[in-house]
Amino acid sequence: MALTETLVYKELTEESVLDYLVEKELLTNKEKAQCKEVGDGNLNYVFIVKDELNGKSMVVKQALPYAKVVGESWPLSLDRARIEAASLQHAAQTVPDLVPQVFASDESLALTVMEDLSEFTILRKGLIEGNRYPYLAEHVGRFLAETLFSASDEALGPVEKKKLARQFINPDLCDITEKLVFSDPYFKAETNSYPQALQKEVEAIWQNGQLKFEVAKLKKKFLTEGETLLHGDLHTGSIFVTEKETKVIDPEFAFFGPAGFDVGAFLANLFLNYLAQEERQVNEREKEELQTYLLQTAVQTWNVFETGYRKLLTENGLDEQARTEEYADYLLQKIRTDAIGFAGCKVIRRIIGLAHVEDVDGIENEEARLRVQKSALKLGEALIINQNRFSSISELVEWIKEQN
């Protein structure tokens, strides 16, 4: 439900969150509740509230009017909180088991009250620790198939899709992606952050005209191809897992864009962890088994996505012309090619750009970390240049294994 907008925006505290929940009748007694701010992201406050009266808990997520990672010098629209809540609610129409339940949202305070996932593990953390999740590929593949199809022209028809797209115009957060993924890593930008020891490799990327041309084309796709509603930031830090469950969170970057972008983002993060395990794992057998699992997860995720998307398209597509196997082949080939290129951009931005990943940066030995960073830049560049080369994700994965 959307709560009545009676308040003027203000940043909440652990104390005022409890007052707010009591006022909105989401909490009975603040004296019998605990609240703790646990947000470690770049853009928001995240409060966990535990109700001692009924033993239940909830999360209150509030957007800040600036990028927390930079400060008030980087202002952001608070509308992203509305977009995030709307995206979760839209996903819940097709995959309710794969997203947290939204209990309430409030546009005036830019907050969402949702299911607490404290018993889950952030996928990035679990993969860094070498854990394996047997249902991950099935769940993420199904999430991608259902969400990407459900907001497409083929599922909704062009009129209804355009009506939905109006709700997800997200210029501020799209601008972040446009700059940090497609622009800044490819020249000497102030936001870039990388070790001096990597300067030679970075400058080689800056001077690679073919690479920058391919990135420019991918950026053009991101800017202009509103194929479907995207999560917009589908990395392993935006997925919570247990051994049997998966929840996709944080779709505040949601907007209508090219379907391959979400797919590529997830694949890129699997590939980054794969490269990082080369230095993180000491035991050779464990390393081989874990790296095999990561690449198999990439293949299985795509296979589940492709099978699911093809079935949805051919059985439920509104346009008779889109329900053919030939059209499905065409569309899935485009998504796969785009995904490989976008994955390359995502890999490079995590090494050169502003926001890195713990998979790589958490490697304590400087020389080992540098080896992974160099491997990542090499892989990212190759994915972008060779995005049209691969006829399947299986072929791509075999090629990655040969390069490593």
DSSP string, 47-90: EEEEETTTTEEEEEEEE-SEETTTEEEEE--THHHHHHHHHHHH
What is the tens place of the pLDDT at every residue in 266-306?
999 999 999 999 999 999 999 999 999 999 999 999 999 99
**Is the pLDDT reported for residue 8 higher than 90?**
no
**Is the pLDDT reported for residue 3 higher than 90?**
no
Residues in Cβ contact with 171 at an 8 Å cutoff, skipping those fewer than 6 apart:
77
Instruction: Identify the burial level of 169 via C-beta atoms within 10 angstroms of its C-beta, where 0-12 means exposed, 13-18 middle and 19 or more buried.
Output: exposed
Q: What value does the mean pLDDT take over residues 215-239?
A: 98
Q: What value does the mean pLDDT take over residues 208-231?
A: 98
CATH class name, domain 121-403: alpha beta
Q: To the nearest whole percent, how much of the chain has pLDDT over 90?
A: 92
> Which 3-state string (H, E, C) describes 385-398?
HCCCCCCCHHHHHH
Q: Which of 141, 134, 173 is nearest to 248 (CA)?
A: 141
What is the tens place of the pLDDT at every residue in 157-203?
999 999 999 999 999 999 999 999 999 999 999 999 999 999 999 99
Model pLDDT, residue 341? 98
What is the tens place of the pLDDT at every residue in 252-261?
999 999 999 9
**Is the pLDDT reported for residue 380 higher than 80?**
yes
Q: What value does the mean pLDDT take over residues 12-30?
A: 94
Q: What is the mean pLDDT of the chain?
A: 95
**Is the pLDDT reported for residue 5 higher than 60?**
no
Model pLDDT, residue 68? 66
Pair of tokens at residue 70: 């930079």
CATH class name, domain 14-115: alpha beta
- At residue 4 the predicted structure's pLDDT band, cuts being 50, 70 and 90, is very low
**14-115 and 121-403: identical CATH topology:** no
**Is the pLDDT reported for residue 41 higher than 70?**
no
Q: What is the pTM of this model?
A: 0.95
- Cβ pair 145, 312 in contact under 8 A: yes
Domain spans of the chain?
14-115, 121-403
What is the tens place of the pLDDT at every residue in 116-148?
999 999 999 999 999 999 999 999 999 999 999
What is the tens place of the pLDDT at every residue in 49-108?
999 988 899 999 999 998 766 667 778 899 999 999 999 999 999 999 999 999 999 999
């080689």: which residue's tokens? 204
Select the more confidently predicted residue: 2 or 271: 271
